[in-house]
Amino acid sequence: MNFCRNISLKCFITYFIAVWICISFLATCYVYELQLYNYIWKQPQDDCVDCEHHEKENQIAFEDLELYLRMTSRFTKQYYDFLLPSLRYFWPGNVSVVVVLDEENSQDKELGLKLPGTYPYPRVEYQSPIDPGIYHHKGHERMQRDFFYPDDKIKKKYVGFLDTDTVFITRVIPDLLFEEGKPVIIGIYGKSDEPYFRKESLTTASVFKSKEVFRGMSFFPVIMDVSHIVELRIYLEKLHNKSFDEIYKQYSGEPISQFSIMTQYMWSFHRDKYKFHFHLKSYNNGKWHGEGNSPNRQSYEFYQTNVTDDQKCPKPRSSIHYRYHPNWRKPPTLRNILKTGICFSGGFDVCPDQCKHLNRGALQPELYFFESVDWSWDKRSLDEQKKHYAKVLEQRNADTDSAIKLGCVEANKLWFKP
């Protein structure tokens, strides 16, 4: 009898120990799984010591920004099809916009009477005609030339240049356009295998008599301090010993980018007044050692020694240059791009039925895609997207939700004919 009792006791103790080990093991697995889940899905936090102060600086700068749209009546359809809906869904509250039209064009005058009465209720200005020889009788080069003269049209400190085919793709918050109260500039560097952009970098290098740092036509809105653009004109006049229009006439016969010229000047002379982000164009997941670099652009070594890793970190863009999207002529493309931005900007909560096809944790590729140059190969892009949308959702209010609701309804109807 005692022998049986001893056996039963030993069995009980062994059973208890086995159960305890199993429970401990399962608990350990649960804790580990929970930690792993939090690690993967937790929204990344900015390592910012003085975030609140910087956010106030960004808000102040944002309120001192006026968007500048140089167009003619010829591009009215693009304005209504592309820019307008995206601006309505994604730009917060009242937006300050100036639309500049051709003074001598009767159709522009007609358009100028209509625009101020409808959203975004822009202020309309007219550009006086100049000698067409300055811009080689090409309308787009006249527009580019006029971008260098925002000081007689813009009433705020900062100008934000747009095109009629600019499409906003996410909720615009001050932190997206400004950092520490300074305008964000995104430039593309790396492999340059397109003949047009190689010629364009040659023009920029020739204008400054020094190598180009990056391609500045790589984001919208292009935000500059208006006074710095005035300084740029004066600087180039002294450098070339001729008037700015003479300089423009000399170089605009070749591929030219007004934004590359502007951003080159800001990097060279006002680097501390802007926040620069370097977007590497790479076909090999960021592995680039100078192959295919434009001979008129800075060397591979320049980017290793003069550009920090933080400056190379992906920066989400607020918009895309829509007609340079590879699928822009396919009608569903615009609708799908806008709906994706709407869902991430609050639609998952405001209109969940419209967003069932999307995953909250997925990458929104258009944030890192500009004129067919991708940046999402950088593994940090998803974390930067999460940081952006964490701030977007923090700043949600009745007005933003109303705009998102409007987008949920209207985006389904967007089906334009190219």
pLDDT tens digits, one per residue of 42-56: 445 555 667 889 999
Domain boundaries, the chain: 51-319, 325-413
Q: What is the pLDDT of residue 411?
A: 77
Q: What is the pLDDT of residue 3?
A: 46
pLDDT tens digits, one per residue of 351-393: 999 899 899 999 999 999 999 999 999 999 999 999 999 999 9
- Reported pTM: 0.87
DSSP-assigned beta bridge partners for residue 379: none
Long-range contacts of 51-55 (CB under 8 A, 24+ apart): 54/179, 54/180, 54/181, 55/174, 55/175
Q: What is the pLDDT of residue 19?
A: 57
pLDDT tens digits, one per residue of 73-127: 999 999 999 999 999 999 998 899 999 999 999 999 999 999 999 999 999 999 9
Which residue has better confidence, 156 or 282? 156
pLDDT tens digits, one per residue of 127-158: 999 999 999 999 999 999 999 999 999 999 99
Percent of the chain with pLDDT strictly greater than 90 = 77
Question: At 209, which amino acid appears?
Answer: K
- CATH code of domain 51-319: 3.90.550
Q: DSSP alpha helices (H): ranges in 71-194?
A: 76-78, 84-90, 106-114, 139-146, 174-177
The pLDDT of 62-68, averaged and rounded, is 98
Which residue has better confidence, 26 or 69? 69
User: How many helices and strands in the chain, by DSSP H and E?
Assistant: 16, 12
The pLDDT of 252-274, averaged and rounded, is 97
Task: Answer yes or no: is pLDDT of 219 > 60.
Answer: yes
Q: What is the pLDDT of residue 87?
A: 97
Cβ atoms of residues 404 and 338 within 8 Å: no
Tokens of 369: 């895609």
DSSP, residue by residue, 15-39: HHHHHHHHHHHHHHHHHHHHHHHHH
Q: What is the pLDDT of residue 390?
A: 97
